[in-house]
Amino acid sequence: MTTKSIVLGLAALSVVSGTPVPQWDDTNSPSIVGGVPASAGDFPFIVSFQKNGGHFCGGSLLNGNTVLTAAHCVDGQSLSGLGVRAGTLNRNSGGVTSQVSAIYMHPNYNRNTFDSDVAILKLRTSISQSSTIRYATLAASGSDPAANSAATVAGWGNTQNSAESSTTLRKVDVPIIARSTCAANYQRDSPPKTVTSNMVCAGYQEGGKDSCQGDSGGPIVNSSGTLIGAITLASQKRTIK
């Protein structure tokens, strides 16, 4: 899968970056590369964010009618045809669906730098917890994952650099990268990309594992399964607050 909420493909670093989860009551999206199929219960809060029934981004269910996703996924979108599917590993069938009734982009979202690349979706019909659906547990306000700690990203994005997204949910384990290291690598991109304090980077120096198109907006979780970010931006080389 490759994401676009900060899955920046660095020149030397294959990373998946994310925007930290805020503590509130598109077609260019990335996907999971080098991952494995997820099992039932691995990500009971993940949703497939869809337009007219077609998957284009991921999201995380925070409560019955609230979903966290990436702002770039909804930038310029009208509400018409927008909905989510929850409680299933298959983005095309099963689980439950609900239409999106409102969109709230982070007021500081910057479409040029992808800073504060998070948005809240409000759902028309509440989605209840069940044997296959649970609400996400958010990281504590102000927390920052330690460099080299374990993280996992998940999504239905492309499994390689292709136009085809995955029908079934996939996941990949990636280490958190020190923000200073990530920033230095992104500065080598052309044009250079800025890594802010609102971003977290994860991935492998050698590449091969990270998010991809279609993964944007999906979850980044720590080893305890706590939601620490939303996939934001991926580059050709690939990897919240």
Q: What residues act catalytically?
A: 72, 117, 216
Cα 239 to Cα 241: distance, rounded to the nearest angstrom: 16
Cα 73 to Cα 83: distance, rounded to the nearest angstrom: 13
Vertex 47 angle, CA 42 and 52, to 5°: 150
Give how far Cα 210 sits from Cα of 125, 171, 221, 227, 232, Å: 33, 9, 13, 17, 12
Give backbone dihedrals phi and psi of 177, rounded to 5 degrees, phi first.
-105, 135
User: Of 27, 11, 30, which is closest to residue 160 (Cα–Cα)?
Assistant: 30
Residue 200, H or E segment:
strand 200-204
Question: Given the DSSP bridges, would you call strands 46-51 and 200-204 parallel, antiparallel or unpaired?
Answer: unpaired
Residue 66 tokens read as: 């609230």
User: Of 6, 10, 7, 8, which is closest to residue 206 (Cα–Cα)?
Assistant: 10
Cα 45 to Cα 62: distance, rounded to the nearest angstrom: 7
Cα 185 to Cα 90: distance, rounded to the nearest angstrom: 35
